[in-house]
Chain A
Amino acid sequence: MTAVAPSPAGIRRALQVPWWFVALPLGLYGLVVIYPSLAGALYAFTDWSGIGAFRWIGLANFRAVMIDDEAVSSLGNTVVLALSTTLIQNMLGLSLALALNRRTRLNSVLRPLFLAPALLAPVVVGVIWQYIYSPEGALNAILSAVHLDALRRPWLGLADTAIWSVALTVVWQFVGITMVIYIAGLQAIAPELHEAAAIDGSGALRRFRDITLPLLAPAITVNVLLPFIGGLKLFDQILVMTAGGPGYATQTVALMIYRQAFTFGAFAYSTALAVVLTVLVAVAAMIQLAALRSREMPA
């Protein structure tokens, strides 16, 4: 009597990784992200006040967002901050990457120095720069020391300067990440390409435009996507440095959502704002991913 040998396919099926391995992360993700996000998106179309029954009110919350000066200026500030920090961070980050790309002793000291602020809590960075920008703070003291007293001002207290002061703070913290991503991209470019082009008589600028920039495309995509989405969600630094002021000059959507929900209890309205924020983030992500995919296709 011989045992029937199970087929190899049968063995493989019996030895499959069991589904329950994914149960815990999926369950936690479902409870913490999926269910609350779906519920939040639904509440945006209701008059829900946090307790008791609620009615469907269609797009009324979104119409209220559109005629609410605070919401409109928060949306404007958020987009301005996301765009400006992304732009400055990329120009500065790429310059630093090009300057620090070669392996020298000086560069091996400077690279981590530029990356260090990225490891600090954004709240902590906000506190540091709140001091620097304060009326009796470091920036004004330096201006006095070099006899530029005319430029002294409460940087975070004036509507004209507050938003740019915040933008600079964000760039200071995160430019190191942009830099290391560009360095990784630069180091993936074979030096032979530059050598061959140089032998063919291409100048440095031309080689940068024709070789470096096109081959950096994936790094550029990541370096635009990450700070832009991060910029759309700015909250910690704003709350610490300006609390959205003066007036609503530096109020962001994320800060307004927090206030509407947890200070004023306007739950339905806050979720409508959150839906607007989600759409902004999703559109940005889709544009970037489409750009990444089209560039990665072989021409």
Chain B
Amino acid sequence: MTRNLNFARSFGQICLTGFAAVYAFPLYLIVSLALKTEAEGARAPFALPSSLFSGNFARAWQTSATSGNASLAPAFGNSILITAVGVVLLVVTGALGGYVLARRKSRLADWLFVLFLIGLTVPQQLGIVPLFQLARGLGLVGSAGGMILIYAGLLAPLTIFLYTTFIRALPTDYEEAALMDGASRLRVFWDVVMPLVRPVTATVVVIQGIHIWNDFFTPVIFLLGSGQQTLPVAIFSLVGEYATAWGPIFAGVVIASAPAMAVFVFLQRHVVRGFSGGIK
């Protein structure tokens, strides 16, 4: 009986490992093709690279003479800038807003909370044309600053939701003690509340950071052709330029994905908690 069970279990493990290998094969394929010359990639697409060829990375990274569009170097900088500043703005505005909505016991606070929740389901497509016209009128199309402001509004609902629900469950004792000592509300927010909400801040940074880093729909509308594009748009342009020269394209894919993968490796706990947060 026990031996049968052990056998069944090992058989299950073998099947699972086999499935995992098939599942991970595309990931292996892009990294290995990025490291092969075009000739080697065509001749032996599945084999391990015979040597570590860096030419594809150089081609994807540098500005090509024919089109300034399909180079990843400036896009990498733009993605870093927009993601970093966007996330900081989301954390500060989301925590401040969530703090009011959690602590004020009034109908207005409940109503505002629901107003933010509605934004969780409204598709971005509904307002995209009026938003584009508004941004163009304000001179914000084609600029990193415009993208940062758009993300701060677009991703406010989830951020506000996370901070508000978390702060509601926090006791008010520390805040009251600090207020009795004469601290201003802003000081209490910064010195008392912000350290207490660190778990939410970690979730917001990871989840919204990955969202902004990977987003395509917003930058393809607001940045395409501006020379200020982010990595997903640059990859899209790269495919247009190199067609089926997969070496440079996959080198670009590796470059664009490396930061998110690094976050995953070093902050795995926060990533898993962020993704499974829907049910706690």
Contact = CB atoms under 8 A, between A and B. Distances in A.
A278 B152 CA distance: 22
B169 interface: no
B33 to A, nearest CB: 8
B154 A36 contact: no
A110 B125 CA distance: 36
A287 interface: no
Interface of B: 12-13, 16-17, 20, 23-24, 26-27, 29-30, 45-46, 93-94, 96-97, 99-101, 103-104, 112, 115-116, 119, 121-131, 133-134, 149-150, 152-154, 156-157, 159-160, 176, 179, 185, 189, 210, 213-217, 221, 231-232, 235-236, 239, 244, 246, 249-250, 253, 256-257, 260-261, 263-264, 268, 271-272, 275-276, 278-280
Given A138-B45, A233-B125, A236-B216, A127 B97 contact: no
Interface in A227-253: 229, 232-233, 235-236, 239-240, 253
A101 to B, nearest CB: 12
B119 A29 contact: yes
A117 B27 contact: yes
Contacts of A34: 115, 119
A115 B20 contact: no
Given A24-B97, A121-B232, A39 B127 contact: yes
Contact of B276 (A36, A180, A253): A180
A29 B235 contact: no
A67 B235 CA distance: 36
A129 B232 CA distance: 15
13 contacts: A19-B100, A21-B97, A26-B112, A33-B154, A33-B157, A36-B128, A118-B275, A121-B260, A128-B253, A141-B45, A181-B278, A219-B279, A282-B121
A53 interface: no
Contact of A25 (B160, B261, B263): B160
A112 B268 contact: yes
A218 B236 CA distance: 37
A46 to B, nearest CB: 12
Closest 3 CB pairs of A and B: A32-B153, A36-B127, A28-B153
B16 A110 contact: yes
Given A31-B153, A184-B279, A114 B128 contact: no
A175 to B, nearest CB: 9
Contacts of A50: 129, 133
B152 A123 contact: no
Contacts, number: 254
A248 B268 CA distance: 40
Contacts of A278: 122-123, 125-126
Interface residues of A, number: 90
Contacts of A65: none
A270 to B, nearest CB: 6
A285 interface: yes
Given A33-B127, A121-B214, A22 B101 contact: yes
B126 A22 contact: no
Contacts of B93: 24-25, 28
Interface in A247-268: 253-254, 257-258, 261-262, 267
B260 A120 contact: yes
A258 B115 CA distance: 26
Contact of B128 (A19, A40, A127): A40
A120 B134 contact: no
Interface string A177-205: 10011011100100000000000000000
A188 B276 CA distance: 12
A145 to B, nearest CB: 8
A277 B126 CA distance: 8
A87 interface: no
A25 B257 contact: no
A79 interface: no
B126 A127 contact: no
B126 A275 contact: yes
A151 interface: no
A196 B189 CA distance: 48
A235 B45 CA distance: 29
B217 A33 contact: no
Given A22-B100, A22-B112, A33-B119, A121 B231 contact: yes
Contacts of A172: 23, 26
Interface stretch (A10-18, A54-62, A153-161): A10-18
Given A36-B131, A113-B20, A181-B278, 12 more contacts: A17-B99, A22-B100, A29-B156, A35-B127, A36-B134, A37-B122, A40-B127, A50-B133, A114-B20, A122-B216, A134-B244, A183-B276
B279 A185 contact: yes
A290 to B, nearest CB: 14
A52 to B, nearest CB: 12
B17 A32 contact: no
Contact of B94 (A25, A37, A141): A25
A21 B261 CA distance: 35
Contacts of A71: none
A121 B235 contact: yes
A133 B12 CA distance: 30
